[in-house]
């Protein structure tokens, strides 16, 4: 597994690199946001550990740009502040997890393993699912609308997978946070709502009048093929 670390604190960067290398990962590093973004864009990377406050390009902008170009790339945000708003901002733009400084190496390693595991998981029961003018291959991470490819992030595939597995059932926002994000602490259900809005833009004929991902007021969502 190839891991890229973009962190401008040299002591933290060295510690992360040494520990990840010891665990058997191939590690690239950068202390500059723009340089790190280009490395992630131009090279095979299985996971990105991304600081927020960086020279050249901040972590939020790197995450936003990479999720457009490489939607399946798992990203763990590293924040020095650790406030709820920092966490929410990172998750809303596509980060897969977050960790606040100071953090312990065992906790960081656990989060790395969890994110890598979630990003590689596929459902055993449903590999390809089609509805309306949409077709989704959950095993190959490939989706089409009107036979034209559309880019979905790994998190969006996971959300759709969960909704499909529970079609015609009311899926609560907290269920999605627990099952898809896997957080013990759920910062806000707004994160789920934002992802649903983006999914609708990509797969619904008219996102303002959704046919497939329906809002159930006061509860969550229901998928109707």
What CATH number is given to the structural domain containing 172? 1.10.10.10
Whether the full predicted model's pTM is greater than 0.95, yes or no, is no
Better-predicted residue by pLDDT, 178 or 120: 178
Claim to verify: residue 116 and residue 132 sit in the same structural domain? no
CA distances from 169 to 22, 44, 155, 204, 216 (A): 45, 38, 20, 19, 10
Claim to verify: residue 13 and residue 98 sit in the same structural domain? yes
Claim to verify: residue 102 and residue 143 sit in the same structural domain? no
Out of 81, 98, 120, pick the residue that ends a domain: 120
The whole-angstrom separation of Cα 38 and Cα 173 is: 35
Quote the tokens at residue 164: 């499909």
Claim to verify: residue 95 and residue 136 sit in the same structural domain? no
Quote the tokens at residue 7: 């962190």
Q: Which domain holds residue 198?
A: 128-223
Q: Is the Cβ–Cβ distance between 87 and 79 less than 8 Å?
A: yes
Claim to verify: residue 114 and residue 136 sit in the same structural domain? no
User: What is the domain count for the chain?
Assistant: 2
Claim to verify: residue 148 and residue 189 sit in the same structural domain? yes
Task: Give the torsion sign (CA, 206, 209, 212, 218).
Answer: positive
Claim to verify: residue 9 and residue 112 sit in the same structural domain? yes
Claim to verify: residue 115 and residue 138 sit in the same structural domain? no
Claim to verify: residue 55 and residue 9 sit in the same structural domain? yes
Q: What is the mean pLDDT of the chain?
A: 87
Q: What strands lie across the sheet with 2-6, from one edge to the other?
A: 26-30, 2-6, 47-51, 75-79, 97-100
Query: Is residue 211 pLDDT above 60, yes or no?
Result: yes
pLDDT digits 0-9 by tens, 159-180: 999 999 889 988 988 888 878 8
pLDDT confidence band for 197 (50 / 70 / 90): very high
The whole-angstrom separation of Cα 87 and Cα 95 is: 9
Out of 95, 120, 145, pick the residue that ends a domain: 120
Out of 120, 144, 169, pick the residue that ends a domain: 120
Claim to verify: residue 60 and residue 164 sit in the same structural domain? no
- For 31-86, give the DSSP string: SSHHHHHHHHHHS--SEEEEESS-SSS-HHHHHHHHHHH-TT--EEEEESS--HHH
Q: Is the Cβ–Cβ distance between 176 and 192 less than 8 Å?
A: yes
What CATH number is given to the structural domain containing 79? 3.40.50.2300
The whole-angstrom separation of Cα 203 and Cα 162 is: 16
pLDDT digits 0-9 by tens, 132-147: 999 999 888 899 999 9
pLDDT at residue 143, as a whole number = 94
Beta-sheet pairing, 2-6 with 26-30: parallel
Q: What strands lie across the sheet with 220-223, from one edge to the other?
A: 170-172, 220-223, 213-216
pLDDT at residue 123, as a whole number = 43
Claim to verify: residue 105 and residue 139 sit in the same structural domain? no
Claim to verify: residue 116 and residue 211 sit in the same structural domain? no
């Amino acid at each position: 597994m190839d891991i890229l670390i973009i962190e401008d604190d040299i002591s933290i960067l060295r510690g992360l690199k040494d520990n990840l290398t010891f665990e058997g990962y191939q590690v690239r590093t950068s202390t500059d946001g723009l340089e790190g973004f280009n490395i992630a864009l131009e090279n095979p990377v299985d996971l990105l550990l991304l600081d927020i406050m960086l020279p050249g390009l901040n972590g939020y902008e790197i995450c936003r740009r990479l999720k457009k170009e490489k939607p399946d790339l798992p990203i763990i945000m590293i924040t020095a502040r650790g406030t709820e708003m920092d966490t929410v901002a990172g998750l809303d733009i596509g980060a897969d997890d977050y960790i606040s400084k100071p953090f312990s190496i065992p906790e960081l390693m656990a989060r790395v393993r969890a994110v890598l595991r979630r990003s590689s998981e596929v459902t055993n029961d449903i590999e390809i699912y089609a509805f309306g003018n949409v077709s989704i291959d959950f095993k190959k991470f490939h989706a089409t609308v009107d036979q034209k490819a559309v880019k979905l992030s790994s998190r969006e595939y996971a959300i759709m997978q969960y909704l499909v597995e529970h079609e015609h059932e009311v899926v609560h926002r907290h269920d999605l946070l627990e099952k898809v994000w896997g957080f013990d602490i759920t910062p806000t259900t707004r994160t789920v709502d934002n992802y649903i809005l983006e999914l609708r833009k990509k797969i619904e004929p008219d996102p303002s009048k959704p046919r497939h991902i329906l809002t159930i007021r006061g509860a969550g969502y229901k998928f109707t093929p």
